[in-house]
Structure 1
């Protein structure tokens, strides 16, 4: 959803992340108070309208169940924060999920009866889960992790790849392609 909103208008995403613009003025006592609608400039009205556009985009993307939970909220940021808490959990829950994903990544091994495709699907699920929480692993580390997760029966192929390729520049999809080719040849 982030990408969809950013690709339509980056200002919408700014409002969702940072909150809506609040037009303020100083009253006679020096306190900051909310401007009345008639006191707002055209530019201030446009800044406020961005929140409404962001809300509209969010609301249009929800099904009835989600919409009913957030339809009364007037701030795009509050809607987003509510969704994050509802579907990703509190910070403690997020940290727990990240910990579990990191443990899954560290302990990742290809099962002896697993195909390369299944193994890569499982690996991608873990890596994408971490990425969703902002934990981005450099591609060269992913390549090494995948290579060293292969079972002993793949030692020859692993050694051949290590000797023939530069693991710092080898792309993950190239590695998987090579492993798939080897798997087909073994059959």
Structure 2
């Protein structure tokens, strides 16, 4: 009798999880664009939907690796543009650093500081601040 209660309790918990998953799936698909919804309609769980969306947005493994290489190249080639303000340089650098972190490229603080300091113009130009 005790075993039956445990089995029934386990089945009830499983059913609750299924209902929660289905509700989450409905809510997520409800807010997606129709074009995206059509391409992910075969997803039966929120995990499947999430994985499909990540692949659709971020691309497959080759595309992600290509993006990492591109961001590494941008970081290595980062430099100031003639006449660009210090604020603009810092904003561009922060955006690049954020994009790098979003794909899993983590640089050491010293390397980041060195790159930023080297990208700032060596000579002060009064026109840059105005």
Residue pairs, 1:41-52, within 5 angstroms: 41-52=11-22
Contact 1:98 / 1:130 at 8 angstroms: preserved in 2?
yes
Question: For the structure 1 residues 92 and 110, does the alpha-carbon distance in structure 2 shift closer, same or farther, using more than 3 Å as the test?
Answer: same
After TM superposition, the score normalised by the length of structure 2 is 0.75
- List per-residue Cα deviations over 1:6-61 (Å, max 9, x = no partner): xxxxxxxxxxxxxxxxxxxxxxxxxxxxxxxx996211112223422432342233
Residue pairs, 1:30-45, within 5 angstroms: 41-45=11-15
Residue pairs, 1:87-166, within 5 angstroms: 87-154=57-124
1:120 to partner: Cα distance: 2.3
Q: Which residue of 2 aligns with 1:55?
A: 25
Q: Which residue of 2 aligns with 1:178?
A: none
Question: For the structure 1 residues 186 and 97, does the alpha-carbon distance in structure 2 shift closer, same or farther, using more than 3 Å as the test?
Answer: closer
CA RMSD after TM alignment: 2.8
5+ long unaligned stretches in structure 1: 1-37, 155-181
Whole-Å separation in 2 of the counterparts to 1:185 and 1:102 = 28
Contact 1:116 / 1:183 at 8 angstroms: preserved in 2?
no
Q: Which runs of 4+ in 1 moved over 4 A?
A: 182-187
Choose the corresponding residue for 1:68, options 29, 33, 38: 38
5+ long unaligned stretches in structure 2: 1-7
Whole-Å separation in 2 of the counterparts to 1:119 and 1:41 = 58
- List per-residue Cα deviations over 1:53-103 (Å, max 9, x = no partner): 432342233122222222342122221222222221111110011000011
1:123 to partner: Cα distance: 1.5
Which one has a larger percent helix, Structure 1 or Structure 2?
2
- List per-residue Cα deviations over 1:125-145 (Å, max 9, x = no partner): 221211111223344432332
**What secondary structure does 2:123 align onto?**
helix
Q: Which residue of 2 aligns with 1:6?
A: none
Question: For the structure 1 residues 93 and 149, does the alpha-carbon distance in structure 2 shift closer, same or farther, using more than 3 Å as the test?
Answer: same
